[in-house]
Amino acid sequence: MAGAVFRTGFSVASNQLISEPQMMIKLSFRVQLNLPSWLLLSLLLLAVPAQSASRKPVRAKHAMVVSAESLATFAGLDILRSGGNAIDAAVAVGFTLAVTYPEAGNIGGGGFMLIRLADGQSTMIDFREKAPMAATRDMYVDSSGNVIPEKSVLGPLASGVPGAVAGLLMALEEYGTKSRAEVLERAIAYAEHGIAVDLRLEESLVGYMSDLEKFPSSTRVFTKNGEPYKEGDIFKQPDLAKTLRAIAKDGHDGFYEGEVADRIVEEMKRSGGIITYDDLESYEAVERTPVFGSYRGFEILSSSPPSAGGTVLLEMLNILEGVDMKGKGAHSSAAVHAFAAAAQQAYADRALYIGDPDFVEIPQQQLISKEYAAQRRKTIQENKATPSTDAPNAGKEEGSHETTHFSIIDQFGNAVSTTVTINSLYGCKTVVDGAGFVLNNEMDDFVSKPMNPDSYELVGFEANAIEPEKRMVSSMTPTIVVKDNLPYLIVGGRGGSRITTAVAQVILNVIDFGMNVQEAVDFGRVHHQWRPDKILYEPFTLPQDVLVNLRAMGYTLEPTSIANGRVEVILREPSTGFLLGAPDPREEGVAAGF
Ligand code: DON
């Protein structure tokens, strides 16, 4: 890292109200037109960009990485600086997060990587977990048909067959240029030699210790001989280092076969899971075509099923394209009404239609068509909410969920938007003994029972019912917005069902409301997901009169106790070609570039 020329997300030059060249132009303008000085002053004020409370985005000329954790960001940046491309960097960031951000980064979970190459081609790597072969439709339901609390979230019965290793390696093999050893180097070093525990890690470990302690393997990894880790302690993960070395050496087989696979199967037997050696050996990531759409002349690429993210995003944007969002103004009651109504419609379609495309027919082209959106738009009434009918289980909003997103663009023009998850914080809380990583609890993203809310209060039906080897529906929305054939915005985030509305709002904030990318990320967000029938808003964001207006329209509104998603974003400034990184202040994200 010595001599590296990068900027972190923390320091940028202070804003200048009027730059010297601007003044010169204005002054010569006055000389020519002989304008009175009061008029000159007014014109000058009009020309000055409005000041906001957001810090400036981080700027870089060639390449940029934005992730939720600093060591991971710099691991990606080093790969780029040594000539690697954005895919190499994304794989390095993904593996590093598995070590430095163990509550969400992972090798025991899955995700989606959206890639847009410099030549304009794009693809999505789907490394979503699969239901084990022994999974059954009613595996989380008792004999009376009631969902058994915790069965789909705690312990390895909640775990889908992990996809992360297969997905990251597929990306590297198909689109990367570096070796496995190179992209895994940082991750292995951090696992082996340890990282300093920061306050985030201390707090999350303390917060989840009562569940982690249910599994001796998890207690061994996540405590110092039974004592909680404290900020500043060195946290080493020797078993994880060994697993990562096996992946570096043997690739897919180093995880899905041999000793690591044996250990996963042993953990299943010990702790009540059903994943078999066959499940692991046969797991493959899949390349899929992303969803394509447009919004006000910008091209949008996003995640295709089994993620619902891209489809819901496009349906919402298509509906909103016919609404004068700019004219209504950010956070006006009319704009929030239009946004919530569009979200209601798109999330209702998600619940009904989206499933694993290898198992169910999805009317995909219809859902993302402009004609369909136009019909849906017509059902939105002016100044009046449309009830989603009675909300099941309204008021449940607790627990922390863990996913993490990173956006990368390289010096060659390739862009990568990746979201990975183990679902809840520390997944199903079970560490695979001797292999050093937690397993996901992604099975909860299936519909255990029709209309039964999952941990994000999402409901669903047949399309997302459990079947052996099926992938569960996701909300992850890694997205790339393209302008004039170049990546314009690289965006995605965490937050379960709120990911898609968070991504949509960043896009609206930039395209409709003209915010700079950091303002667009920082700006308070609202969320609606059809059921429960309510708008969740981040506290202190919507003014009182807007709340009053929306309630008068018939909406239920609640301040949310958790963020409405956390996004990590890059914007390519069309006028200069500079890359602007915007980490989300709702987490400790770091943008760095060169
Ligand atoms: O795939 C999904 O939709 C969820 N498992 C994502 C979970 C998530 O974003 C948690 N984040 N904080």
Cα distance from N-terminal residue to C-terminal residue, the chain: 12
Any domain includes 169: no
**Total Cβ atoms within 10 A of residue 149:** 9
**Domain CATH for 545:** 1.10.246.130
Residue 403 appears among annotated catalytic residues: yes
Per-residue pLDDT tens over the stretch 402-438: 799 999 999 999 999 999 999 999 999 999 999 999 9
The answer to whether the CB of 458 is under 6 A from ligand 1 is no
Q: Is residue 444 part of a domain?
A: no
Determine if ligand 1 sits within 6 Å of the CB of residue 401. yes
The tokens for 159 are 């775990």
CB-based burial, 209-232: b 16+ in 10 Å, e otherwise: bebbeebebbeebbeeeeeebeee
Supply the pLDDT for residue 52: 77
What is the number of domains present in the chain?
Answer: 1
Residue 385: inside a domain: yes
Q: Which two tokens stand for residue 87?
A: 């895919």
Whether the CB of 460 sits within 6 Å of ligand 1? no
Per-residue model confidence as pLDDT tens digits over 8-18: 332 222 222 22
Q: Could you tell me the distance, in angstroms and rounded to a whole number, from the CA of residue 20 to the centre of ligand 1? A: 47
Nearest CA to ligand 1 atom 4: 496
The answer, yes or no, to whether any atom of ligand 1 lies below 6 A from the CB of 302, is no
Per-residue pLDDT at 145: 95
The answer to whether residue 301 is domain-embedded is yes
CA distance 251 to 175: 15
User: Average pLDDT for residues 107-117, to the nearest whole number?
Assistant: 98
Establish whether residue 494 lines the binding site of ligand 1, counting it when its CB lies within 6 angstroms of any ligand atom.
yes
**Full residue range of the structural domain in which residue 545 is found:** 288-400+475-574
pLDDT band at 520 (very low <50, low <70, confident <90, very high): very high
Domain annotation covers residue 200:
no
Distance CA 594, CA 586 (A): 24
Q: What letter would DSSP give residue 563?
A: -
On whether the CB atoms of residues 305 and 356 are closer than 8 A, the answer is yes
Residue 141, SS3?
Answer: strand
The token duo for 334 is 């009319």
Angle value at C-alpha 569, between 539 and 565, nearest 5 degrees: 35
Give residue-wise pLDDT tens across range 77-90.
999 999 999 999 99
Q: What is the 3-state secondary structure (H, E, C) of 333-386?
A: HHHHHHHHHHHHHHHHHHHHHCCCCCCCCCCHHHHCCHHHHHHHHHCCECCECC
Q: Which of 73, 96, 403, 501 is catalytic?
A: 403
Task: Determine the Cα–Cα distance for residues 352 and 462; give it in Å rounded to an integer.
Answer: 8
Alpha helices in 82-146 (DSSP H): 86-100
Nearest to 369 by CA among 294, 290, 298, 480: 294
Q: What's the pLDDT band for 146 if we cut at 50, 70, 90?
A: very high
Q: Residue 12: inside a domain, yes or no?
A: no
Residue 376 located in a structural domain? yes
The pLDDT of residue 318 is 98
Atom of ligand 1 nearest to the CA of 498: 9
How many other β-carbons are positioned within 10 Å of the β-carbon of residue 2? 3
Q: Average pLDDT of 439-456? A: 96
Identify whether the C-beta of residue 564 lies closer than 8 Å to the C-beta of residue 498: yes
Residue 300, strand partner residues: 293, 481
Q: What is the mean pLDDT of residues 202-210?
A: 96
In a domain, 111, yes or no: no
Distance of CA 45 to the CA centre of its chain: 39
Task: Check residue 531 and report its DSSP letter.
Answer: S
* Rounded distance from Cα 404 to ligand 1 centre (Å): 8
